[in-house]
Amino acid sequence: MSLTLKETQTMLDPLARDVKIGLTSQPKRLYSKYFYDARGDGLFQQIMALEEYYLTRAELEVFQTQKERLLQIIGGEETFQLVELGAGDGQKTKVLLEYFQQQNVDFSYCPVDISENVLQQLEKRMRAEIPDLTIKPLAGDYFDVLADLKFKNHSKTVAFFLGSNIGNFLADKVQQFLVSIHDNLRSGDYLMIGFDLKKDPKTILKAYNDSKGVTKAFNLNLLKRINNELGANFDLDKFQHNPVYDPQTGECRSYLVSTEEQEVTIAAIEKTVHFDAWEPIFMEVSKKYAPKEIEELAQATGFKVVENLYDSQKRFADSVWQVV
Ligand code: AVI
């Protein structure tokens, strides 16, 4: 069977492929990993600086107040590579890196991120701010990069997956992801994961529906990206940002809801997509965990929880796991 040029391009371009799958599925969905183009990176930086988006400050407090304890747990005597999956701007991690340096810990820092743009900025800043740091950045999808990292060739690995990035996995994918990390680590290696915790639903909803509308712009930016990169004609004014939080599952789900019946054409995939009035596109899940769920997740994926490091208000936990 021979393929047309368009079919070949669609096969090669992950964004086109996923948009095609997502917008022809019922219910419709898009994938939040595509939020992060250059404008999306900038909007996420703005979100992290918002008062309502408490997650960043809560995790920073954990690092500032518990860095000594973390180093006691992972042990600073042996050389290790510190692999940070989804490093982002690395600003919070810097607190730990600086502390490890001051304590003369022998480690190399390997930040991994899907955004090449973010990674370049991070490397530049780290080189300027912590000149003696050995840094080896790696751009790519977590799943692809995990295999390349060859954790097993190293004497010891400490992996970080911070900032509640774990919350962006749906329930059916999270275990698969953790098992693939597990399978690339050696017995005794550590994994520290940042979990946003279940709390007052109103606090959570405000974090994803901020008063300045930055999170709304962050979601709509994906439609803009599809317009720019795939030749689509989404009218951004005809979609409403609608996050909902379910305190039982802990899932905060963000939707863009079509405010009227409409058709959107996406040239690169040769599709016209029909929207009913008030039909949603599921954009992102940001799951919140209870400490018990963290324990269960570790056990189910081949780890044990060594200790949960909390902020003073118990809004957030950096959970230190060890491969059993
Ligand atoms: C990257 N991730 C952990 C953020 C979150 O909280 O789920 C992304 C985000 N979405 C809206 N605001 C922030």
Max Cα-Cα span within the chain: 63
Query: Is the distance from CB of 269 to CB of 10 less than 8 angstroms?
Result: yes
Q: Measured from the CA of 285, which atom of ligand 1 is nearest?
A: 7
Q: Whose CA is nearest to atom 6 of ligand 1?
A: 286
- Regarding beta strands 134-135 and 271-275, do their DSSP bridges make them parallel or antiparallel, or are they unpaired? unpaired
Distance 286 CA to ligand 1 centre (A): 6
Through-space distance between the first and last CA atoms of the chain, rounded to whole angstroms: 48
- DSSP 8-state code for residue 256: E
What pLDDT, on the 0 to 100 scale, is given for residue 8? 53
- DSSP 8-state code for residue 28: E
- CA-CA distance, 223 to 273, in Å (whole number)? 13
Band (98; pLDDT cuts 50, 70, 90): very high
**Is residue 19 scored above 90 in pLDDT?**
yes
Peptide bond preceding 27 in cis form (omega within 30 of 0): yes
Residue pLDDT, tens place only, 51-80: 999 999 999 999 999 999 999 999 989 999
Instruction: State if pTM tops 0.75.
Output: yes
What pLDDT, on the 0 to 100 scale, is given for residue 144? 76
- CA-CA distance, 15 to 233, in Å (whole number)? 16
Residue pLDDT, tens place only, 162-209: 999 999 999 989 999 999 999 989 999 999 999 999 999 999 999 999
Residue pLDDT, tens place only, 253-310: 999 999 999 999 999 999 999 999 999 999 999 999 999 999 999 999 999 999 999 9
Query: Is the distance from CB of 242 to CB of 256 less than 8 angstroms?
Result: yes
- Regarding beta strands 28-29 and 280-287, do their DSSP bridges make them parallel or antiparallel, or are they unpaired? parallel
- Tokens 């379910």 — which residue? 246
- DSSP 8-state code for residue 268: G
What pLDDT, on the 0 to 100 scale, is given for residue 15? 96
Find the radius of gyration of the CA atoms of the chain. Answer: 20
Q: Whose CA is nearest to atom 2 of ligand 1?
A: 165
- CA-CA distance, 45 to 95, in Å (whole number)? 18
- DSSP 8-state code for residue 227: H
Q: How far is CA 125 from CA 5, 120, 159, 201, 287, in A?
A: 41, 9, 21, 36, 30
Band (142; pLDDT cuts 50, 70, 90): confident
**Is residue 114 scored above 90 in pLDDT?**
no
Band (145; pLDDT cuts 50, 70, 90): confident
Q: Measured from the CA of 164, which atom of ligand 1 is nearest?
A: 3
